[in-house]
Structure 1
Amino acid sequence: MTNKVILGLTFMLILIVPAMSLHASAQTSYTITGAGSTFVFPLMDTWRVDYNKIHQNIQLNYQSIGSGAGIKLLEQKSVDFAASDAPLSTADQQKAPGVLTFPDSIGAITIAYNIPGMDKGLKLTGPVIAQIFMGNITSWNDPAIANLNPGATLPNQNIVVAHRSDGSGTTYAFTDYLSKVSPDWKTKVGQGKSVPWPVGTGGNGNAGVANIVKTTQYAIGYVELAYVFQNNMTYAFVQNADGNSFVEPTLDTVAADATAASANLPAADGDWSKVSIVNQPGSNSYPISTLTYVMIYQDMSTINGETQDKSTEVVNFLTWILNDGQQYSSGLLYVPLPDSLKKIGEDGLAKVTFTGGAVPEFGPIAALVLAIAIVSIIAVSAKTGLRFSAKF
């Protein structure tokens, strides 16, 4: 091969390699994967749409499959992040070491019911709710309910209890509340993402329970506030922790409950397993409120198939939901995060690393270095008389 031919090939490489590199670097579309909480899904889906309007190369694939299933996928390292209304238990932390946890929203769990002709505002106490879900109060006109609602015409109809059939952070927070207000519930049923329900019909996700209540006369169930409003459902006013008023679930009353519990929360890399905001004191505190959480590995290189560039986009997205994304909360009946909770998330995301030795992109600089190397080799070969020959 003559020096002229070699030189010609060199110039072609100088032109082609950077062009190929620029083309590759333009392929910067990423799909961020998340899974878990159905409670936060209306807000998460809004974040998905609006973030993509700003960053059209980023798609969010969020699977609304319940907190328990989302945590399992996190433990299997098959999603970029999990969302849950229940923090990681001690056992979960052992299965998923190195996970950061921080709140992304605050919401209410309503006691939704379907009594024909009766509007929202049925008054219920925590102990009465517990007895209904234990199957000890079985009729809507039971004296325990009637005494709380003088003047109301309660039907002589059996109560149809609806509960979650899947592992659920909503169930975790609801049974946390019942365990705090009812010693009977605490000893016989307890708290968890899944519990041995004494009575009732199971529905998958918040949407499943909402559908049972909405389509079944005389039903009652626990459903996140956004689902209740989206489906035009009726719901109870629940007695506060102070025992001096029955509180409607609203943004203000949920915020009051969360504010009372927001002091002394752990850092993102701390233990959140004992954190609870239910049944906080205050005349205007709605007692069945919950934080919802994002969970992400501190070292993102441990996730199956993760790349350094993608992990950066995941952190960018989660940073956005903590800040700009909070503007969408109120319209969907979630309480925007106070600054103290935002800071927990921001400090946690600042600790995210990628230590797995990601392969760097082959950019224009790398292409130029390669071209110079080729030219150098050819120059040396021309000087020494070394010839190249292709053999196949």
Structure 2
Amino acid sequence: MGRAGLRGALQKAALAAVVCFASEAGAVELKGAGATFPANLYEQWISEFNRANTDVTVTYSAVGSGEGIRQFSQGSVAFGATERPLSDKQVEAIAGGVLHVPTTAGMIVFAYNIPGLDKELRLSQESVAGILSGRIKAWNDPVIQAANPGANLPAKDIALVARRDSSGTTFSLTSHLAAVSSDWKEVGTTIVWPKTAQLVAGNEGVAGRIAIAEYSIGYVEYSFAARLNLRTALVENKSGQFVRADAASGAAALASTVDAMPADGRQSIPNPEGETAYPIVTYSWVLLRRENADAAITDGLKRFFGWGLADGQALSDKLGYIPLPAPVAERAKAILAELR
């Protein structure tokens, strides 16, 4: 057996070990790990599904997209979650094949803590790139002032809060920045931030730090900012409009790309069209093995995510996520049906 074949056999054995342990315990246990981005939604999905289905127990560890992909690739969990789709090379390296099922979408917002600011903060594309690169260092910088006429912006240093872990949120944000700024070059789940940035783990970590750090700003999935009642900036979109993150602007961002969703579900939206579209949005995917070692695991995954793609979508808007557009939800169900 070659090295690749041995690796695949070990991955299958590891997954089978997890499955057998769960089956012997009675209820099927579906362990997942990955992105913090959808964690608030998955928490509610799991609570409602587990309450109604005593023969299946779902758990999810919000450890970040990079770590979730690692655990999924090694067969430690039944499903992973990410905002960065796997590359073809990554897919080919995982035994059993990989399905990308879009489960929800969301907006990446800039939450801020500026004491005494008397107006909503407006961030141009130039401001966003400048703040995140460290070129813009103070709140009263002329570039920020130009988009906020009459606002009492303080002569205080900007305290940037960013992710230190491997993050799909970071990937989606930097993909947007590369699309709108010729000066922004680095795209990835981890990047080199300015030396003065405060680096924390997870969307919840970023939101929590902003809540207590005066004159701070950072990027988070919208629901995390909403949970802590953080102020969020209006952000300039492709049409030059400053747009507030809400259900309508999130839906508008997805609307122009719905028909372009590829058969495998892997679609990025780095700079959406539309005057009312919020500019930084992404789908969030679960990663599933196309072929599983145990039929009970396959059945449990189909039931849980099938419920999430149907009844579970009603929870998205309540929590600050963007419900999947109907054609995308149907595409996701078709991908889920390929699970064996």
The two structures have a TM-score, normalised by structure 1, of: 0.78
Provide the residue aligned with 2:206 in structure 1: 209
| Contact persistence 1:279–1:286 (CA under 8 A) | no
Equivalenced residues, count = 316
Which of these residues, 268, 276, 287, is aligned with residue 284 of structure 1? 276
Alpha carbons 2:118, 2:151 under 8 Å: kept: no
5 Å matches for 1:1-392? 28-96=26-94, 98-118=97-117, 121-186=120-185, 190-199=186-195, 200-243=197-240, 245-268=241-264, 272=266, 275-301=267-293, 307-353=294-340
- List structure 1 segments (4+ residues) > 6 angstroms apart after TM superposition: none
Which residue identity does 2:277 align to in structure 1?
Answer: S
Percent of residue pairs bearing the same amino acid type: 37
Asked if the contact 1:261–1:276 (Cα under 8 Å) also holds between the matched residues in 2, the reply is no
Pair 352,246 (structure 1): closer, same or farther in 2 beyond 3 Å:
same
Q: 1:296 to 1:120 in 2, by over 3 A?
A: farther
CA shift for structure 1 position 277? 1.5
Q: Any conservation in 1 of the 2:119–2:151 contact (CA below 8 Å)?
A: no
Going from structure 1 to structure 2, the CA distance change for 1:234 and 1:313 (only over 3 Å counts) comes to same
Q: Distance in 1 between matches of 2:25 and 2:39?
A: 29
Q: How far apart are 1:327 and its partner, in Å?
A: 1.2
1:214 shift after superposition: 1.2
In the alignment, which residue of structure 1 is the partner of 2:14? none
Secondary structure class of the residue paired with 1:184: coil
Rounded to whole Å, the distance in 1 between the matches of 2:83 and 2:148 is: 32
- Aligned-pair Cα RMSD in Å: 1.7
Mapped to 2, the partners of 1:107 and 1:43 lie a distance apart of 11
Contact kept, 8 Å, 2:123 with 2:144, in 1: the verdict is: yes
The superposition leaves residues 74-119 of structure 1 with CA deviations (integer Å, 9 ceiling, x where unpaired) of 1111111111111113442233261000210011000111100226
SS at match of 1:110: strand
Paired residue type of 1:231: L
Report the secondary structure of 2:249's partner residue.
helix
Q: Distance in 1 between matches of 2:90 and 2:188?
A: 13
Post-superposition offset of 1:33: 0.6
1:237-273 Cα shifts (integer Å, max 9, x gaps):
0011111x210000110110011122222223x7x3x
What TM-score results when the alignment is normalised by the length of structure 2? 0.89
Structure 1 CA distance for aligned equivalents of residues 292 and 118 of structure 2: 49
- Structure 1 stretches of 5 or more lacking a match? 1-24, 302-306, 354-392
Q: Which runs of 5+ in 2 are unaligned?
A: 1-22
